[in-house]
């Protein structure tokens, strides 16, 4: 059995600190074959600095996925090129985009877990190829002989994520949604064995609007002015998913949702 922990979008320094505290505790009690976190908001709430990626690795994260904010910090471009095995960006960005969108993570048992990052096209200002056709080709060609496949589908629309879940049922071990920072309560295993949740949520400040200082966001809506977001402080939340997979078939055996508060 393969056990995977996935953590939703880590928001800013408070989010990184919360992940460090959470992993220190949980990794002392449970063994995971693979810990994955979405890091697209890990630096200042927008983007990922190489130093923040290194900090997440040091906390126990093995692989970092991302999303539309991966390009916000320019230093990440070189890092993406140099650290392909540990950090990925959405696979369906146009050909030639820096970095990679899929990685084969080798477990100590020498089994591969393939981690794929995809980005949606509905309600997202991004230029990307069709995620359905992109992953179809990837699964049929490069990953045709792989059975343990985890997908982080970074998308806004619940329908696009759910449609992808059904499209990939039985073809990947797990498909989890990210990007909205709001956790959905629909975790399940689809009929052909794919673990699914529409959105994992975020690791960051609970008293916030998707990680940002609530007062500033409210003022933006009231005034229409593009005020600068600040990452909120205070009590932290950890949102994630724990999955177990059958190592022979790659099918999901269980999916459990994590939504916990970290005391200050």
CB of 41 to Fe ion, least distance (A): 4
How many Cβ atoms from other residues are within 10 Å of residue 84's Cβ? 16
Size of the site for Fe ion (CB under 5 A): 6
How many Cβ atoms from other residues are within 10 Å of residue 170's Cβ? 14
**Catalytic residue, candidates 69, 154, 179, 181:** 69
Residues 6+ apart with CB under 8 A from 77: 71, 98, 99
Nearest CB to Fe ion, comparing residues 236 and 252: 236
Residue 9 in the binding site for Fe ion (CB under 5 A): yes
Distance separating alpha carbons of residues 156 and 179, to the nearest angstrom: 6
Nearest CB to Fe ion, comparing residues 15 and 250: 15
Instruction: Write out the binding residues for Fe ion, residues 77-136 only, by CB under 5 A.
Output: none
Nearest CB to Fe ion, comparing residues 9 and 33: 9
Q: Is 181 among the catalytic positions?
A: no
Nearest CB to Fe ion, comparing residues 68 and 92: 68
* Beta-sheet strands, E only, within 179-232: 188-189, 195-197, 202-205
Nearest to 12 by CA among 264, 234, 176, 257: 234
Tokens representing 208 are 């916030």
Q: Binding string, 31-70, against Fe ion, x = CB under 5 A?
A: ---------xx-------------------------xx--
Q: Which residues carry out catalysis?
A: 69
Binding site for Fe ion (CB under 5 A): 9, 40-41, 67-68, 179
């Amino acid at each position: 059995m393969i056990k995977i922990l996935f953590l939703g979008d880590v928001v800013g320094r408070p989010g990184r600190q919360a992940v460090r505290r959470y992993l220190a505790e949980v990794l002392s009690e449970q063994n995971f074959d693979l810990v994955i976190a979405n890091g697209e908001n890990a630096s200042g709430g927008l983007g990922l600095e190489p130093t923040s990626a290194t900090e997440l690795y040091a906390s126990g994260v093995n692989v970092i996925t991302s999303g539309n904010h991966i390009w916000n910090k320019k230093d990440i471009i070189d890092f993406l090129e140099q650290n392909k095995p540990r950090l990925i960006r959405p696979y369906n960005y146009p050909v030639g985009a820096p970095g990679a969108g899929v990685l084969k993570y080798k477990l100590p048992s020498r089994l591969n877990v393939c981690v794929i990052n995809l980005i949606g096209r509905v309600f997202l200002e991004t230029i990307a190829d069709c995620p359905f056709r992109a992953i179809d080709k990837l699964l049929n060609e490069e990953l045709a002989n792989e059975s343990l496949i985890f997908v982080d589908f970074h998308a806004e629309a619940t329908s696009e994520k759910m449609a992808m879940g059904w499209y990939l049922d039985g073809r990947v071990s797990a498909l989890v949604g990210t990007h909205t920072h709001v956790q959905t309560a629909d975790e399940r295993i689809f009929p052909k064995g794919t673990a699914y949740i529409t959105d994992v949520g975020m690791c960051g400040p609970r008293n916030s609007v998707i990680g940002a200082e609530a007062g500033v966001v409210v003022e933006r809506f009231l005034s229409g002015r593009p005020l600068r977001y600040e990452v909120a402080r205070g009590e932290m939340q950890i949102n994630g998913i724990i999955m177990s997979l059958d190592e022979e078939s790659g099918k999901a055996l269980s999916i459990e949702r994590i939504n916990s508060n970290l005391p200050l």
